[in-house]
Amino acid sequence: MIRIASGQGFWGDWLEAPVRLVEQGPIDYLILDYLAEVTMSILQKQKQDDPNLGYARDFPPLIGRIAATLLERNITVIANAGGVNPIACAREVKRLAPQLKVAVVLGDDIYGRIDELLAKGYDLRNLDTGKPLETILGKISSANAYIGAFPMVDALATGANVIVTGRVTDSALALAPMIHRFGWKADEFDKLAAGTIAGHIVECGAQCTGGNCQVDWQTIPDMANIGYPIIDAEPDGTFFITKHRGTGGRINSDIVKEQLLYEIGDPKRYLTADCSADFTSIQLEDVGPDRVRLSGIRGGPPTDTLKVSISYSWGWKAIGTLVYSWPDALAKAKAADRIVRERLEQLGLTFDEIHTEFLGVNACHGPAAAPVEDPPEVQLRIGVRGRDRKAVERFTRELVPLVLSGPPTATGYGEGRPPVREVIAFWPALVPRHEVQTRVEVIE
């Protein structure tokens, strides 16, 4: 059996989680998932501004902090913290922890190959809309293929203490050490599916140990010290979801089932770069406190294509807020909304979308929200999105004046005019698997 701990669900997750995982009990691997679709576009912009950036900057200091423990306990780290600049990330890790051996997985970033792929006849059509990529050429900010576990297995074969990757499938971070240690082959689809599902369960960190959980959340103990998940994996594909003893949170089959439903399409054919996994074949069993056993998982071959995550600029947005207090808080907020919209119309400004919410009344549930007769306070939240940055900037000057020229009792305007931000849109596409060539480099 090997122990694979998941210490990061996204870039911005709890900084202490990975530290506690390596210090509070035995593990063999620490996996850290930093990337989301929008994260890649943010990192690409950072790299364009500074060629030494483009990675999750929390990661190298973390490794520097735990380097001695990693060596002492023989723990290997696998992280997609490299973003769009894995080499720079790995070099910074090496600078802060020179005693560690660092390997990098490359090849997922196809941003510089867009024209080449189009010239070969691959239209990189949007999977949702069917539109060809030519419709957004000139606006693209990043393009990364989701690669699977086997390139990371090659990196593990170097004996590196830390593996840094760019865009890989989230579940592959956990599958790779199972393939490496158990010698699983590329056609052992049931085992690969088991490792994939294990990785899927823990990819969001504490979301499978009671965090963000709908199952009796009020009774989940000590969430201030919630334990992050650990996979106890066996060579035949059976695995357990657990956490370190004495940590907060809770693991049971109901909570694991809730995470299993997270972001899946066809449950009988969950597609990844390594295999397809049949979620309906999973057998779950509570086998002890904070310990769930999963077995019987079936899988099938992968497709001959890889998913590509492309991000592109789609205009500008700005969002502003004001708070109105009792009496007549909701009526005041609605009046302020009408005034802003009328002034924008008088200025001749148009937007792709203008949207208003009333926090404290119906922002989360909209028309399904229960009526609130006389709320003590309401936050007006109004935002616009459009292709014309000047129009969006003009909108930002129309909210704060209501403090003096609108309904009474307005507050919450201390930050002044809201900032204008670029809107980054997501373009999912497919690319032939053979067009994505990966390689491993060891950073000396």
3-state SS, 205-268, equals HHHHCCCCCCCCHHHCCCHHHECCCEEEECCCCCEEEECCCCCECCCCHHHHHHHHCCCCCCCC
The answer to whether the CB of 334 falls within 8 A of the CB of 297 is no
What sign has the CA pseudo-torsion 210, 15, 95, 100?
negative
pLDDT at 28: 98
Tell me the angle at which helices 189-202 and 172-182 cross, rounded to the nearest 10 degrees: 140
pLDDT at 41: 79
Residue with structure tokens 């119906």?
362
Q: The whole model's pTM is what? A: 0.94
User: What do you get for the CA distance between the two ends of the chain, in Å?
Assistant: 32
pLDDT at 215: 82
Separation of alpha carbons 403 and 17, rounded Å? 43
What sign has the CA pseudo-torsion 329, 330, 333, 339?
negative
pLDDT at 230: 98
How many other CB atoms sit within 10 Å of the CB of residue 360?
Answer: 18
Separation of alpha carbons 11 and 82, rounded Å? 12
The answer to whether the CB of 168 falls within 8 A of the CB of 146 is yes
The answer to whether the CB of 230 falls within 8 A of the CB of 5 is yes
Kindly report, residue by residue over 337-372, the tens digit of the pLDDT: 999 999 999 999 999 999 999 999 999 998 899 988
Domains of the chain are 2-108+146-302 (no CATH), 312-426 (3.30.70)
The answer to whether the CB of 264 falls within 8 A of the CB of 242 is no
Residues with pLDDT less than 50, the chain: none
Residue 402 corresponds to which tokens in the numbers above? 């209501």
pLDDT at 11: 93
How many other CB atoms sit within 10 Å of the CB of residue 56?
Answer: 23
pLDDT at 284: 97
